[in-house]
Every structure is written in C-alpha cells, then in structure tokens.
Amino acid sequence: MIPDELIEAVGNARHVTVLTGAGVSAESGVPTFREAQSGLWARYDPMELATPEAFAANPRLVWDWYRFRRELVLGVEPNPGHRALVELESLLPEFTLVTQNVDGLHARAGSRDVVEFHGNLFTDRCFAEDKVVAGQESTQLPFCPDCGAPLRPGVVWFGESIPEAARDRAFAAARDCDVFFSIGTSSLVYPAAGLVEVARDAEATLVEINPEPTEIAQTLHYALAGASGEVLPALVKRLKDHRS
C-alpha cells in the first residue's frame, strides 16, 4: 500500500512539511468540518456559523456552538495518526507541521511546534481589536476586559486573514521542503489549499493521505487511500525498518 519509492523519498528528505485537516482528528471522535453535524447542531451548516457575519448577527448562537465543540474536544484523546506524526518528526532532520485544525490535538499528542493556520479553539480574541485576550469560561457572552467589546473564539473565520506569523511559516515551509504531505483535508479552503501548489513549484514530492481521494489527488505523486490513523503508523514503521 505504501510504495518503497515513497519511503526512500521520506527517508532521504532534508525537510518534510505536513499539512493536516479535520480528517486527522476524525478517529478521535471530532467530526470533520464538511460532514453533517449531529444532535443539537444537525440543522446548522458549519460554513454559515464560522463567519464574522454570523457572530455579529447572533453571538450567542455562535458561542454556544464553540462551547459545545470545546467540551467535545476536551472529552477526546489524540489518536494513532497524531502520535505517528510526533514520531515522524523525531526521525527527520527538519519537519514542519502545519494544521488547519483548531482542536489542539497535535500538541496534546506531543508535537512540539505546531503552526496553527486557522487559530485555536481554546483562545478568545477581542472582536473589535483582534487581539488575543485571556478568556474566562462563562455561560454569558464574554467581553474584552480592556475595551468592553465582545470576545469571540480565537479561530479564523471565512473572509478573515490567516495570522501573519502562521501564514509566513507555512508558506516558507512549503517552499523549502522536499516532501509535502496533505493529510485529512478536503483541500477546498484557501489559502491553506494553495500550500501544495507552492510545494509543487519547489519540486517537492507531493503525497495525500485520505480515505476519499480529493479532487487534487490525481495531480500528486502519491495518493494513499486510507485513514490517517492507520496509514501514518504504517508509514513510520516502514521508515524505521528501512533505516535499520
């Protein structure tokens, strides 16, 4: 299932860059962004809740959704895919992990330096001044202690810019790598979906891991059709066998 040539390419790589998406957390029990929501949230489309317009129109609804998700994530654990990425990092000279996920599960698994492209579910930001503020858990609508404006979750919504430091690091890592992995993402949301094109221009080996090959799969060097919690541990094992 994993070709020898790919193991050689990863084994000989100077710098590997990995982009992860919601699929990597699916096996922990965190629903992906584009699968239908269940229970209380079944009638809401995440694409319509994750916008500044939705927050301005109904902050209570949007906060209820994010508080529900905070609780959900606090009740789950990193899975073998997250843990395999920690091990992969330790086997390579240079490794950059960029995630679109806001759930913090890579860090909880032990990844030391995660580029959080779409922010973090557990931080709060001031809706007026856009700065991160120490949030306080509350059932009320939280307000900025400095200016009194509403606080909002510290994530990146549609139509908003990617935090500059994360964007710069992610694009530099895509430009600099010799193997680029796109794992558990539908590759539909930009600018994250543009990283693979930057890596292509840099002549990196391009790899996707996804049980449902995406629209870009055919344009990549390798599309490994499977769950990240199965394919990544197998890849790490093959890499270690190859080295011994």
> Residues with catalytic annotation?
118
| Unique residue bearing structure tokens 């993402």 | 185
Q: Nearest approach, Cβ of 9 to ligand BJW (angstroms)?
A: 20
Which strands sit side by side in the sheet containing 132-133, from one edge to the other? 132-133, 119-126, 151-155
SS3 176: helix
Residue 166 C-beta-side C-alpha neighbours within 13 Å: 22
SS3 165: helix
| Unique residue bearing structure tokens 């919690």 | 229
How large is the C-alpha radius of gyration of the chain? 18
Q: Nearest approach, Cβ of 12 to ligand BJW (angstroms)?
A: 25
Q: Which residues bind ligand BJW (CB under 6 A)?
A: 21-23, 26-27, 32-34, 50, 100, 102, 118, 155-161, 184-186, 188-191, 209-212, 214, 227-229
Closest CA to 21 of 195, 237, 199, 239: 195
Closest CA to 231 of 195, 183, 199: 183
Q: Nearest approach, Cβ of 8 to ligand BJW (angstroms)?
A: 23
Q: Nearest approach, Cβ of 55 to ligand BJW (angstroms)?
A: 11
Element (H, E) at 126: strand 119-126
